[in-house]
Amino acid sequence: MIEYGTRIVAGVTPGKGRTKIHDVPVFDTVNSALESHNANASIIFVPAQHAKEAVMEAVDAELNPVVVITEGIPARDGMLLLAYAKERNTTIVGPNTPGVITPGESKLGIMPGSSFAPGKVGLASRSGTLTYEISQSLTHSGIGQSTCLGIGGDPFTGLDFVEVLKMFREDPLTESVVLIGEIGGSAEEDAAKYVRDSAYPKPVVAYVAGRAAPPGKRMGHAGAIITGSEATALAKIESLSAAGVKVAEVPSDLPRLLQGQVPALQH
């Protein structure tokens, strides 16, 4: 992150106060860090067992947004930390997210900067490495990105597709949007509904992973499981297509779909 240009002013690890890492001072608590440093956002790598309180500590210190990289947070803790943040008007990205990147400017996340390039496409995804795969293919096709964000692979996440779509709508630097979805939950269906109901003014294209996934099995991400007909990839692709979102059959079709060179998947 430092290499990419993000100004990391302090780290917090209980018991490691008064030390330094990569020349960044480390503190025992968030409050003590803020006594001598100005910060406006937080990124959390704390192990799942302690993640809930780490998020609360950042929220209490009025850092906003809070990006939660941690994977495997108990669902109950996830619900609690999201409710806590919502009450205090703090935006949570994740949990289980690669973070946020504005290519060429800064990133609050763990994605490889080399997969991204500055441009006008906004990207929101439920997955990590698949995001890098797709941003890389966009970048190689000469399509840069305004901001890319992982909403997180957990069942309970802070920002969802709809909220990110709203932000991209208001963002003058974003001209079109890529959504990368997967099986499980209803984030894609909700996004489709929002795009349709709001007559979304910018083009939206999508890819949905997991068309070959068997029902009832959880595919790696805690959130990626088909429960009933709603959560299947096909149902999601259908809702998106019906809302006017062009859906790519394979990830590598996305750049050409954005440029109008290949037809969208039909259902």
Partner 1 sequence: MAQTIEGSCRVKLFEYEAKSLAQNLGVLTPRGAVASTSEEARDIYKRIGGDVVIKAQVLVAGRGKAGGIKFASKADETRDRAAEILGMSIRGEKPRRILIEQKLVTKKELFVSIVQDRASRCQTILASEQGGVDIEQVAKETPEKLVQHKLDPVFGMRSYDARDVALKLGYQGQQLNMLADILSNLYRLSIVYDAELVESNPLVENEDGKFTAADLRLIIDDNSLFRHPEFQERSKEVSAEVSPLEAKARDRDLAFVELEGDIGIIGNGAGLVMATIDLVKKYGGSPADFCDVGGGANADHVAAALDVIQSSEKVKSVFINILAGITRCDEVAKGILEVKRVVGLKKPLVIRMSGTNQEEGKRILSSAGLTTLDKMDDAARLVASGEST
Contact residues toward partner 1 (CB under 8 A) are: 48-49, 72-77, 79-80, 82-84, 87, 98, 110-112, 114-115, 125-133, 136, 153, 155-156, 180, 182-186, 190, 207, 209-214, 216-225, 227-228, 230-231, 233, 249-252
C-alpha 90/C-alpha 258 separation (Å) is 33
Nearest CB to partner 1, comparing residues 175 and 249: 249
Distance in Å, CB of 60 to partner 1, minimum: 15
| Sequence-separated (6 or more) residues with CB below 8 Å from residue 264 | 205, 241, 246, 247, 248, 257
Q: Are 99 and 93 in contact (CB under 8 A)?
A: yes
Nearest CB to partner 1, comparing residues 12 and 180: 180
Distance in Å, CB of 34 to partner 1, minimum: 25
User: Coil, helix or strand for 147?
Assistant: strand
> Looking at 22, 50, 221, 267, which residue is catalytic?
221
Tokens (6 digits) for 168: 């991209």
Nearest CB to partner 1, comparing residues 33 and 44: 44
Nearest CB to partner 1, comparing residues 31 and 227: 227
User: Coil, helix or strand for 255?
Assistant: helix
DSSP 14-70: TT-TTEEETTEEEESSHHHHHHH-----EEE---HHHHHHHHHHHHHTT--SEEE--
Distance in Å, CB of 84 to partner 1, minimum: 7
Distance in Å, CB of 253 to partner 1, minimum: 9
Query: 12: which strand partners?
Result: 27
Distance in Å, CB of 92 to partner 1, minimum: 10
Q: Are 211 and 234 in contact (CB under 8 A)?
A: yes
C-alpha 53/C-alpha 49 separation (Å) is 9
Nearest CB to partner 1, comparing residues 33 and 151: 151
- Which amino acid does the sequence have at 180? I
C-alpha 130/C-alpha 179 separation (Å) is 11
Tokens (6 digits) for 119: 């441009």
Distance in Å, CB of 123 to partner 1, minimum: 13
Question: Is 221 an active-site residue?
Answer: yes
Q: Which residues are catalytic?
A: 221
